[in-house]
Structure 1
Amino acid sequence: MVHMDAKAGMPHFFPALITVGVVAVILFAARAIAIHVEQRTISATAPEAFSLKNQGLAFQRAAAHASDVLPLYGSSELLGQIPERGGNFFRAAPTGFQLSPVGKAGATSMIMLQKIGALGSDLHGKKLAISLSPIWFVVPATSPYWYEGNFSLLAASKLAFGDVLDFELKRTIAARMVQFPSTLEKDPLLEFALKRLASGGRLDQIAFCIVWPLGKIQDAVLDLQDHFAALSYILRETKSVPARRPRMLDWPRLIAKAGELGQANKDDNKKDKASRSEGQMVAGPRDEWFREHVNGAREWGDLELLLRTLAEVHAQPLLLSMPLDSRYYDEVGVSRLARVVYYEKLRALARQYNVTLADFAEHEEDAAFLYHRGPQPEGAPSAHLAAKGWMFYNRALDDFFHGRIPSN
């Protein structure tokens, strides 16, 4: 009787199995089509900075596989529509490549490393650039608001359940990620896995291995959602592919022209230089405060994790740093003598990890390099690149892409 019941159930099993197989084939084919469309339209999407590109991985992966696209990860300095901004400037690939900006306000090293760790082997041998904001290294720790506003479940899950990073690095990253518990509340599986990774104990490692297959299934589902969202975006939003216009760039002329846009600051610049030149290398009343904040900033540890991640995925990075806002720091009593500590620490890390760095320290006193937004809630200034600053960035990016030593 039992034997006959088993036989009766078999006909229902095979149609279900066939249905699952057909659905899997359809989804696989749809994903392949989406990837093909993403790669075919990369010239149209690469120059743009938009939410889906920042939160997902599909557009970032397409940029990673394009030989004529240079990814640039950064923060709010990547946004805005000034013509000199990198995405705009390289839109028509004047020197043979486009720039693909990824980031928004508050995207710090921890956010970037999750994206890069999630892309993993897609970045093997790939040149990319990282734009750093000095404010990150003056405030004591990353604002939860910054982190939460940039957190990507897909990137975090791909990093946690991926197999590119070694266990020790992944454990250290997980220990930082669990310090932002609100980002994990909606995904108990990822929360459990990260806590097991962060602990690092023998039983925790076994527990992580047990849930690892579930994590891979979650990654597959999130990956499909990402590709379908990317395909939908391309069909709805993508404009025509920009025509390529190769030309020789006269960088000194372009920089001088961009500097003229800051002409309104020129008189202030001369006045500031005259008033500051005598005392800029003399100790200021808030020098000790500045040194303590910079030396104690949690962001240095996060930047080191980012550099370790870049090394593990075998990417070829360029670090860019905006100069400190000298106008603000001079006004509050932080001398140039004290400000040197930021550049020294940054250069030391770049040397340690053999990473190319352009820090633009010599442009601190150039009022046309940055535009000033004033102090933020954290009490430190948040300056952005002005037209002239962007033109210096663009020259460094062009040098880097073409294998030359980037100019500061």
Structure 2
Amino acid sequence: MKKKYLFGPIILALVLFAGFVFVPASWLAKLVPDDRLEQSAASLEPNMFQGTYLQGEMLADPDYVPIYGSSELSRWDPFHPSNYFETNGADYTPYLIGKGGTTSIIHDLNLATHADKLKGKQMVIIVSPQWFVKQGTDEQHFAPNYSSLQAFELPFNDDIDENVKRELMQRLMSYDAVKNDTMLYQLYDAYLHDEKIKLNLLTAPAKAYISMLKKKDLYFTLLKDVQPNRHESDDVKNKTWEELQEQADAYGEKRTKDSKFHIATNVYKHKKNHIKEMEGKNKGHSYAESPEYADFQLMLDILKKAEAKPLFVIIPVNGEYYDYTGFPKQGRDDYYDRIKNQIDDYGFTYADYSDHEYDPYFMRDTIHIGWKGWVYLDEDMEKFLQ
């Protein structure tokens, strides 16, 4: 009797595993609800960022405009693009892609994976100064954000420039998350060293694994996302840009009156001790030199070859707070100049907010755009998309 109880769960597990492996992906795709894309647009669900199915569907749909960014995307208020455009009945829906720790290298891999779907696609890419630290993206921020599926697909991707592909592989191989994946690391190594026999031996198991990861992505797609507690409000409906700026000023003033540096009071109270400790601690720092510039260059290369239409958004820092920490103004200005030059060299469009460092309520804390900053972005997005 005990053996029956013992083998029952094992047999069930084998049946479930066989179902997972052998159910055709086309069958699973037919089960995806019609409203799944709409439901995922503002969910900020990591499984979507690291997958391919939903993003592929979104890029093929002219009603969606992807916004690639990082942690600022989850800073909700009435002026956030997701609320503003929905409330005002826009013809398009922002589709948010990114979370804390998402930097150029993560976006590079994602955009490379979907390069065949980017031609003529309008998109917004928010670029943050704090990405450009001297050491570049560290393992702590890379590992939770990178996609194994997208990484395995890279060697078989013929839609990006060969040199860009190789540079991106070499960059990815510097991270432990890739080094510790033996099959992926050896696949890259064989590709980069043109070891054809080794590459041929690894291709079959790699493609089988890709197939399994794609099915996993589809299974996650069948599950509804837990929706974030985003701020939905019609207070921003049918307002002029001047009225919205005044409204954002009042909104921000109310939420920063008990703090310093025009930081949201709830953030200031939580970080108060840390902020006190940071006085003068960033003397001599700079965003002028970073591996991030090369990562950003790869993004530009991918978008240019794909004939995408991006609007880059150059986010400032909170000037009052950065001055307090001793972070030199020159170390910020060098970043603004360098990043604008890179974008200019490719002929892409950008919204430059670097002169808003000291504009109250443009930033909601030390590094995240909010309130008045969102109003500027909403206006620039609307002009760009028209």
1:149 aligned partner:
144
**TM-superposition CA deviations, 1:225-284 (whole Å, max 9, x none):** 2112101237x979xxx9xxxx755222112211211225589779xxxxxxxxxxxxxx
Please, which runs of 5 or more residues in structure 1 have no aligned partner?
Answer: 1-19, 271-284, 374-382, 403-408
1:299 maps onto 2:292 in alignment = yes
Question: C-alpha displacement at 1:173, in angstroms?
Answer: 0.5
1:129 maps onto 2:113 in alignment = no
Contact 1:64–1:123 at 8 Å: present in 2 too? yes
3-state SS of the aligned residue for 1:106? coil
Q: Answer with 146-155 or 76-85: which moved more.
A: 76-85
Mapped partners of 2:199, 2:344: distance in 1: 35
1:356 maps onto 2:349 in alignment = yes
1:260 maps onto 2:258 in alignment = no
Mapped partners of 1:71, 1:168: distance in 2: 26
The 1:202–1:65 alpha-carbon spacing in structure 2 relative to 1, beyond 3 Å, is: closer
Question: Given the alignment, which residue of 20, 30, 42 partners 1:47?
Answer: 42
Q: Which amino acid aligns with 1:222?
A: L
Q: Which amino acid aligns with 1:122?
A: K
Mapped partners of 2:174, 2:122: distance in 1: 31
2:102 aligned partner:
107
3-state SS of the aligned residue for 1:305? helix
Question: C-alpha displacement at 1:287, in angstroms?
Answer: 10
Question: Given the alignment, which residue of 207, 223, 242 partners 1:216?
Answer: 207
**TM-superposition CA deviations, 1:126-175 (whole Å, max 9, x none):** 11111111111134321210101211111212223322123221110011
Mapped partners of 2:374, 2:31: distance in 1: 34
Over aligned residues, Cα RMSD in angstroms?
3.1
The 1:34–1:160 alpha-carbon spacing in structure 2 relative to 1, beyond 3 Å, is: farther
2:193 aligned partner:
201
Mapped partners of 2:302, 2:186: distance in 1: 22
2:274 aligned partner:
none
3-state SS of the aligned residue for 1:261? helix
The 1:191–1:358 alpha-carbon spacing in structure 2 relative to 1, beyond 3 Å, is: same
Mapped partners of 1:45, 1:65: distance in 2: 15
1:393 aligned partner:
377
Question: C-alpha displacement at 1:102, in angstroms?
Answer: 0.9
3-state SS of the aligned residue for 1:52? helix
Q: Which amino acid aligns with 2:215?
A: L
Q: Answer with 67-76 or 139-148: which moved more.
A: 139-148
Within a 5 Å distance, the mapping from 1:312-323 to structure 2 comes to 312-323=305-316
Question: C-alpha displacement at 1:66, in angstroms?
Answer: 1.3
Within a 5 Å distance, the mapping from 1:152-163 to structure 2 comes to 152-163=147-158
1:88 aligned partner:
83
Question: C-alpha displacement at 1:338, in angstroms?
Answer: 4.7
Contact 2:29–2:218 at 8 Å: present in 1 too? no
Q: Answer with 335-344 or 122-131: which moved more.
A: 335-344
Contact 1:151–1:183 at 8 Å: present in 2 too? no
TM-score by length of 1: 0.75
2:241 aligned partner:
251
3-state SS of the aligned residue for 1:96? coil
Question: C-alpha displacement at 1:121, in angstroms?
Answer: 0.7
The structure that is helix-richer by fraction is 1
1:30 aligned partner:
27
Mapped partners of 1:354, 1:223: distance in 2: 35
Mapped partners of 1:188, 1:159: distance in 2: 16
Q: Which amino acid aligns with 1:153?
A: S
2:182 aligned partner:
188
Percent of residue pairs identical: 25
Q: Which amino acid aligns with 1:109?
A: S
Q: Answer with 100-109 or 355-364: which moved more.
A: 355-364
2:337 aligned partner:
344
3-state SS of the aligned residue for 1:295? coil
Mapped partners of 2:318, 2:203: distance in 1: 46
3-state SS of the aligned residue for 2:310? strand
Mapped partners of 2:66, 2:333: distance in 1: 29
Question: C-alpha displacement at 1:206, in angstroms?
Answer: 5.2
Mapped partners of 2:54, 2:356: distance in 1: 34
Q: Which amino acid aligns with 1:137?
A: F
Mapped partners of 2:215, 2:307: distance in 1: 26
Higher relative contact order (CA 8 A, sep 6+): 2
Question: C-alpha displacement at 1:356, in angstroms?
Answer: 1.0
Please, which runs of 5 or more residues in structure 2 have no aligned partner?
Answer: 1-17, 263-279
3-state SS of the aligned residue for 1:149? coil
Q: Which amino acid aligns with 1:392?
A: Y
Contact 2:362–2:371 at 8 Å: present in 1 too? yes
2:361 aligned partner:
368
Within a 5 Å distance, the mapping from 1:251-290 to structure 2 comes to 251-264=241-254, 289-290=284-285
The 1:109–1:237 alpha-carbon spacing in structure 2 relative to 1, beyond 3 Å, is: closer
3-state SS of the aligned residue for 2:144? helix
Question: C-alpha displacement at 1:196, in angstroms?
Answer: 2.7
1:273 aligned partner:
none
The 1:237–1:75 alpha-carbon spacing in structure 2 relative to 1, beyond 3 Å, is: closer
Contact 1:71–1:102 at 8 Å: present in 2 too? yes
